Chains A and B, each alone.
Chain A
Amino acid sequence: GEDVEQSLFLSVREGDSSVINCTYTDSSSTYLYWYKQEPGAGLQLLTYIFSNMDMKQDQRLTVLLNKKDKHLSLRIADTQTGDSAIYFCAERGGADGLTFGKGTHLIIQP
């Protein structure tokens, strides 16, 4: 079945770049997503990438997709304290919805 894997924690220093990695198993995925969840809040779509793209950049965010290895990454440049959150990778495979990873807690050290 579909599976999305990501590490549970990432700790970076303020001002450095954060790279959150994700692997997925469904090769028919059409879209891949990064959601952000701030403390006490629901999930908010951060960015997405269509499966025929390799890279997408949006201000401080860069998404890289390696379709051959089924690997997705989210790079946050110049990480700030406001970036502290849980980041979920998700894929859209079949028609029934999204499959989410377990989420990566991004911890910012001063």
Chain B
Amino acid sequence: DVKVTQSSRYLVKRTGEKVFLECVQDMDHENMFWYRQDPGLGLRLIYFSYDVKMKEKGDIPEGYSVSREKKERFSLILESASTNQTSMYLCASSPVGQGAPYEQYFGPGTRLTVT
């Protein structure tokens, strides 16, 4: 089974702190994604990566950066956390393939609270 793990289920940080959220997948997937999920807003894509050291902005990249130094690991960085970044963060990965159903496999999520 595909497994996507996230470093923490719950995290509490102070305003202004630098925050690292880690995601690891074990299926050699090329694509990895970071979403945030907020009530009434659904999932919004922050960044995605289609290869090592490659990244693309999603719909809401402001205030975030990412790092992908190894294929299996995709990190989301909040350079200076703010209270409006309190949210559930979901990581996902998917393979690349023509004609494939392109399923995204999700981690369990990290609930980040910024005080």
Contacts and interface: CB of A to CB of B under 8 A. Distances in A.
Contacts of A42: 4, 90, 92, 106-109
Interface in A1-50: 8, 31, 33, 35, 40-45, 48, 50
A97 B40 CA distance: 21
Interface majority SS (helix, strand, loop, mixed), chain A: strand
A96 interface: yes
B101 A97 contact: no
Interface residues of A, number: 21
B42 A98 contact: no
B48 A97 contact: yes
B33 interface: yes
Nearest to B35: A100
Interface string B100-115: 0111111111000000
A107 to B, nearest CB: 15
A67 interface: no
B35 to A, nearest CB: 8
Contact of A92 (B90, B102, B107): B102
Interface of A: 8, 31, 33, 35, 40-45, 48, 50, 88, 92, 96-98, 100-103
21 contacts: A31-B102, A35-B106, A41-B108, A41-B109, A42-B90, A42-B108, A42-B109, A43-B90, A43-B106, A45-B105, A48-B103, A50-B101, A88-B43, A92-B102, A96-B48, A97-B48, A97-B104, A98-B104, A102-B42, A103-B42, A103-B43
Q: Which 3 A-B pairs have the closest CB atoms?
A: A102-B42, A42-B106, A43-B106
